[in-house]
Amino acid sequence: MLEIEELSAGYDRLEVLRGVNITVADGGSVVVMGANGAGKSTLCRAISGLIECRRGAIRFDGADISRVGTSERVRRGIVQVPEGRQVFPQMTVKENLRLGGWIHGKAKEAALREIYDLFPRLEERQGQNAGLLSGGEQQLLALGRAMMGRPKLLLLDEPTQGLSPVAIEQVAEALISIGRRGVSILLVEQNLALAEAVGRYAYVLETGRCAAEGPAAELLSSDVVAASYLGH
């Protein structure tokens, strides 16, 4: 489904990603690990089209989307849950969700029902302002809003950041449920427990390059991940 080949990307004169190769299969779940500054968030932004692909290629469903705009990538099925959740605090839960389904017009009402079935807590809170939700509830709202876009590929940038252990477990359960629905997942995460629960295949980034890859259960328990986080 997603093929990233020799991708280089960055900001102004700073090149963050250098020759990155990553594949996400249709219905697959991939986790990208690495220390702060390794290029994980930059990778998500490049896939979403928020920053340009300087060299290399990004292919989705067989088509090169390296020069395709962000809104068109959303239409094709790539939806990102940004770091820090970024819900609209003065809007209700329902209003936040409806914004996520803007691309589908009238069909968003049917999508809203699906989200409430997936996350009953959001239906209970649908009339409440998003800013009054707990951190875990806001993360579920961010997930629900992304799912309103009916993604083929869901990108998640550090979804457990700042969450309690109970909330992290809820996020893990939600992602497993989403994966069972056939949605492909690319998860950027530093929480090893969540990475192992969700990911089937894993990559480790170091200073903008892929330092290692392999089945998640094997790679995440290896010395490679420990060395990457310790900077060895």
Better pLDDT: 35 or 127: 127
Report the range of poorest mean pLDDT among 91-105, 122-136, 147-161: 91-105
Domains along the sequence of the chain with CATH: 2-230 (3.40.50.300)
User: Could you tell me the CA-to-CA distances from 80 to 124, 128, 159, 206 in Å, in that order?
Assistant: 24, 24, 11, 22
Are 216 and 196 contacting, i.e. CB atoms less than 8 angstroms apart?
Answer: yes
- Other C-beta atoms closer than 10 Å to the C-beta of 13 total 5
**What per-residue confidence (pLDDT) applies to 205?**
94
**What per-residue confidence (pLDDT) applies to 69?**
94
What are the structure tokens assigned to 71, written together? 């809104």
Burial class (CB in 10 A: 0-12, 13-18, 19+), 114: middle
Q: Once rounded to an integer, what is the mean pLDDT over residues 155-173?
A: 91
Residue 143: pLDDT band (50, 70, 90) is: very high
What are the structure tokens assigned to 5, written together? 């080949």
Q: Once rounded to an integer, what is the mean pLDDT over residues 203-232?
A: 81
In the sheet that 2-11 helps form, which strands lie side by side, from edge to edge? 14-24, 2-11, 55-60, 63-64
Residue 137: pLDDT band (50, 70, 90) is: very high
Q: Secondary structure of the chain: what % helix, strand, coil (to 5)?
A: 40, 25, 30
Q: Where are the beta strands (DSSP E) in 34-183?
A: 55-60, 63-64, 78-81, 153-157
Strand partners, 81: 156
Query: How far apart are alpha carbons 11 and 39 in whole angstroms?
Result: 11
pTM beyond 0.85:
yes
**What per-residue confidence (pLDDT) applies to 221?**
80
**What per-residue confidence (pLDDT) applies to 107?**
57
Each residue's pLDDT tens digit, 61-115: 999 999 999 999 999 999 999 888 899 999 999 999 999 988 766 556 778 989 9
Query: How far apart are alpha carbons 232 and 227 in whole angstroms?
Result: 5
**Per-residue pLDDT at 226 exceeds 70:** no
Q: Once rounded to an integer, what is the mean pLDDT over residues 204-218?
A: 93
Query: How far apart are alpha carbons 39 and 54 in whole angstroms?
Result: 15
Query: How far apart are alpha carbons 95 and 60 in whole angstroms?
Result: 30
Each residue's pLDDT tens digit, 18-66: 999 999 999 999 999 988 889 999 999 999 999 999 999 999 999 999 9
**What per-residue confidence (pLDDT) applies to 83?**
87
- Give the distance, in angstroms, between the CA of residue 33 and the centroid of all CA atoms in the same chain: 13
